[in-house]
Structure 1
Amino acid sequence: MEVIVTAYSSTPWETDEEEFITASGNWVRDGIVANNLLSFGTKVRFPALFKDKIFVVDDRMHPRKGYYHVDIWFPSHQQAEEFGVKFTEMEILAETD
């Protein structure tokens, strides 16, 4: 599936009132992505950007972002900003109910 990929960090202007807690109630960590289409716990990969690294959908985005936009969590705002905006293929590895 072709998606827009952006990045975010745990900064007040990029998150809601709980900067380090995802929409599913977990602490942020490396490998977390936000998406509005897939269920929490779904495992995905972006081969063109990260080769075999597996990410897990554990957060949500603002509804205006739609379904085909993925936000990858980074530990710092600078890293997220440097990542920028990319268009790439996302592989769904294991979807949960």
Structure 2
Amino acid sequence: MRIPKFIFKIPLLLIFLFGLPSLADTPKTVFFPYQEKVFFQGNTLVAQDLILGKESLDQKRIKIFAIVTGYSSTEEETDETPFVTASGKSVQDGIVANNFFPFGTKIKIPELFGEKIFVVEDRMKKDKSKFHFDVWFDEKEKAKIFGINFTWIEIVE
């Protein structure tokens, strides 16, 4: 007997709704492989180059554990301009929304999309965590099927 896919997503959703929100805003719970070199300074993500003794934004090594969902260009999910991103660009395949990383930040979501590169060009509601990424889909049904995923995000540049 095949178990429906949504049965596995419901417990994860409950864990997220009731267990993670308090952790998401605590810098100590950020899951970076270089914890001693990468930290938050206010709202800025900083990577410290210990060899050179200076601070730099070395995003090539950064991986974060994040919530990844899908959205589409519908009025229920966006503002009054559903086909224009917050950065002013037209929606297209490869666009993601995130409230923390600057526009133009390139990311990969390897567990879900392999080596495909996404670009942060949109924003979400202000109540969303900085560790929440929303992938744009051309159809609402595709976004619904994509669902809620918990996975690693690689910051490319």
Q: Do both proteins adopt the same fold according to a TM-score greater than 0.5, normalized to the shorter chain?
A: yes
Superposed, 1:1-97 pairs within 5 Å as 1-94=64-157
Q: Give distance in 2, aligned partners of 1:18 and 1:8.
A: 14
What 5-or-longer segments of structure 2 have no aligned partner? 1-63
Displacement of 1:66 in angstroms is: 1.8
Q: Report the 3-state secondary structure (helix = DSSP H, G, I; strand = E; otherwise coil) of the residue aligned with 1:63.
A: coil
Q: Give distance in 2, aligned partners of 1:38 and 1:24.
A: 12
Alignment-mate amino acid for residue 39 of structure 1: P
Q: Report the 3-state secondary structure (helix = DSSP H, G, I; strand = E; otherwise coil) of the residue aligned with 1:65.
A: coil
Count, aligned residues: 94
Q: Report the 3-state secondary structure (helix = DSSP H, G, I; strand = E; otherwise coil) of the residue aligned with 1:48.
A: helix
TM-score between the two structures when normalised by the length of structure 1? 0.96
Moved over 2 A (4+): none
Larger Rg: 2
TM-score between the two structures when normalised by the length of structure 2? 0.60
Q: Give distance in 2, aligned partners of 1:20 and 1:48.
A: 27
| Percentage of identical aligned residues | 54
Bigger helix fraction: 2
Q: Give distance in 2, aligned partners of 1:20 and 1:57.
A: 15
Q: Which has the higher contact order (CA 8 A, sep 6+)?
A: 1
RMSD over equivalenced CA pairs, Å: 0.4
